[in-house]
């Protein structure tokens, strides 16, 4: 009887064993939004399966951050369908003041991808064991950049211009050389040109990454090309650097290197990138199936050759250059045979309101769609006093989140013009 009693006690002790030294591996997670890259999550990897039902947002304290959600998974990925597993996922509020890694408000520098947290309450495993709370501060020993990590970085040495251009390329995950894929060219603004890292083109905003997201690729499987420029390629005075030709030569090279549908090439860009897209359009009006021009302008006297092209324009009415500039361009396009549809929106619209706005414009069956964002609705309220040129810069924090415009872009083919 005594032996049985001891055995029971030992079994109970084992069943509530404290894993005092079982520290998790900590990985910080970043994501890219319209206003840049932010640290938005943590993945904790344990050596034993965790019972997710017993986790609460109070299980951990993440220093100086707000927890939105906490759950388990059997793989080291965010999910909407929690499963018991070795991984605890903590989702953080991207609106936290110190969430930014590289953002519109902090351009010019990368913040360190570091996060600290403390386990405040017990964690229960599926083996009836407990991981006790601790005062020890845990810090991440690695980081992951969601979607950004799916791009590859290359250099293109252009034999025609003698120039070298770094670029990011997303290749569809199930790439099949026997299929033809569309390609989206995204061109960033002049802001990041002082930074050397090629990846800057992907994190300064979501103009490239939005097209490579799992949700977008499920609808529109495509290559995404995002060059990184280390100098201004075009400017407000109409100057054009040979890097624009290098960009076109890179595009031609990729269409030969991969199975890319030349009838479904798309270009989009913000500010300088939009200006480059305009130049490409009037120089080679038969190149792109469609273009999305964001917060940009050009000399209206030279744009007539692109009058038959499929174009969507988004600018803020508070943008002192892009708004009058695009008014002049659309006037020229109309005089040369373009049909222009107009939409006046607010930057604060919900996704549903933007969808309605897009659909109303599409009813016009125009080849040029010109949507404006009302002045005073573009710049975040907490940035209005500190953001110089905010009506311009913050246009693209909104523009690439408008799903209907992205869908319109992919619906265009050259043979539909």
Mean pLDDT of 232-258: 98
Segment holding 214, helix H or strand E = helix 214-219
Is the model's pLDDT at 12 over the cut of 80? Answer: no
128: domain CATH number? Answer: 2.60.40.2180
Q: For the chain, what is the radius of gyration of the CA atoms?
A: 25
Shared domain for 356 and 395, answered yes or no, is yes
Is the model's pLDDT at 353 over the cut of 60? Answer: yes
For residue 18, name the pLDDT band (cuts at 50, 70, 90). Answer: very low
Q: Which DSSP state fits 381?
A: G
Segment holding 369, helix H or strand E = strand 368-373
Shared domain for 205 and 111, answered yes or no, is no
Using CB atoms within 10 A of its CB, is residue 15 exposed (0-12), middle (13-18) or buried (19+)?
exposed
* Residue 9 domain flag: no
Per DSSP, the residues of 237-250 read T--B-THHHHHHHH
* Residue 199 domain flag: yes
Give pTM, 2 decimals: 0.93
Report pLDDT for 109.
82
User: What is the C-alpha separation between 254 and 137, in angstroms, rounded?
Assistant: 48
Report pLDDT for 198.
98
Q: What is the mean pLDDT of the chain?
A: 94
124, 145, 166 - which closes a domain: 145
User: What is the C-alpha separation between 235 and 252, in angstroms, rounded?
Assistant: 24
Shared domain for 367 and 222, answered yes or no, is yes
User: What is the C-alpha separation between 322 and 271, in angstroms, rounded?
Assistant: 8
Shared domain for 409 and 393, answered yes or no, is yes
Is the model's pLDDT at 213 over the cut of 80? Answer: yes
Report pLDDT for 383.
76
Shared domain for 37 and 140, answered yes or no, is yes
pLDDT digits (tens, 9 = 90+) for 283-322: 999 999 999 999 999 999 999 999 999 999 999 999 999 9
* Residue 118 domain flag: yes
* Residue 6 domain flag: no
Shared domain for 115 and 31, answered yes or no, is yes
Mean pLDDT of 134-140: 97
Counting the structural domains of the chain, the total is 2
114, 145, 176 - which closes a domain: 145
Residue 174 and residue 214 in contact, taking contact as beta carbons nearer than 8 Å? no
* Residue 3 domain flag: no
Shared domain for 218 and 267, answered yes or no, is yes
Mean pLDDT of 379-406: 89
Report pLDDT for 302.
98
Report pLDDT for 386.
61
84, 119, 145 - which closes a domain: 145
Shared domain for 134 and 159, answered yes or no, is no
pLDDT digits (tens, 9 = 90+) for 24-59: 999 999 999 999 999 999 999 999 999 999 999 999
Shared domain for 141 and 156, answered yes or no, is no
Sign (positive or negative) of CA dihedral 184, 202, 107, 198: negative
Shared domain for 349 and 250, answered yes or no, is yes
Structural domain including 409 reads 149-416
């Amino acid at each position: 009887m005594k032996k049985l009693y001891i055995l029971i006690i030992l079994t109970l002790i084992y069943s509530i064993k404290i894993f005092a030294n079982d520290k998790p591996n900590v990985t910080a997670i970043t994501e890219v939004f319209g206003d840049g890259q932010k640290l938005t999550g943590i993945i904790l990897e344990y050596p034993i399966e965790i019972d997710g039902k017993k986790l609460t947002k109070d299980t951990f304290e993440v220093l100086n951050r707000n927890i939105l959600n906490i759950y388990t998974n059997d793989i080291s990925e965010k999910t909407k369908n929690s499963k018991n597993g070795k991984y605890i996922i903590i989702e953080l509020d991207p609106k936290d003041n110190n969430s930014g890694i590289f953002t519109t408000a902090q351009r010019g520098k990368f913040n360190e991808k570091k996060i600290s947290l403390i386990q405040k309450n017990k964690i229960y495993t599926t083996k009836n064991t407990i991981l006790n709370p601790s005062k020890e501060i845990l810090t991440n020993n690695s980081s992951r950049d969601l979607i950004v990590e799916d791009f590859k970085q290359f250099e293109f040495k252009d034999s025609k211009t003698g120039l070298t251009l770094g670029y990011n390329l997303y290749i569809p995950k199930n790439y099949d050389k026997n299929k033809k894929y569309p390609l989206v060219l995204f061109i960033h603004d002049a802001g990041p040109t002082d930074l050397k890292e090629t990846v800057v083109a992907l994190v300064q905003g979501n103009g490239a990454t939005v097209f490579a997201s799992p949700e977008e690729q499920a609808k529109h499987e495509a290559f995404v090309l995002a060059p990184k420029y280390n100098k201004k390629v075009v400017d407000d005075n109409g100057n054009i650097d040979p890097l624009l030709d290098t960009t076109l030569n890179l595009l031609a090279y990729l269409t030969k290197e991969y199975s890319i549908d030349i009838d479904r090439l798309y270009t989009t860009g913000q500010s300088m990138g939009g200006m480059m897209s305009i130049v490409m359009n009037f120089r080679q009006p038969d190149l792109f199936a469609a273009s999305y021009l964001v917060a940009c302008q050009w000399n209206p006297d030279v744009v007539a050759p692109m009058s038959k092209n499929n174009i969507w324009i988004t600018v803020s009415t508070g943008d002192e250059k892009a708004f009058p500039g695009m008014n002049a361009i659309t006037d020229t396009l109309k005089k040369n045979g373009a049909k222009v549809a107009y939409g006046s929106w607010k930057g604060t619209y919900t996704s549903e309101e933007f969808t309605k706005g897009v659909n109303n414009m599409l009813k016009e069956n125009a080849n040029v769609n010109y949507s404006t964002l009302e002045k005073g609705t573009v710049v975040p309220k907490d940035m209005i006093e500190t953001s110089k040129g905010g009506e311009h810069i913050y246009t693209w924090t909104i523009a690439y989140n408008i799903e209907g415009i992205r869908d319109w872009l992919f619906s265009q083919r050259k043979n539909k013009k």
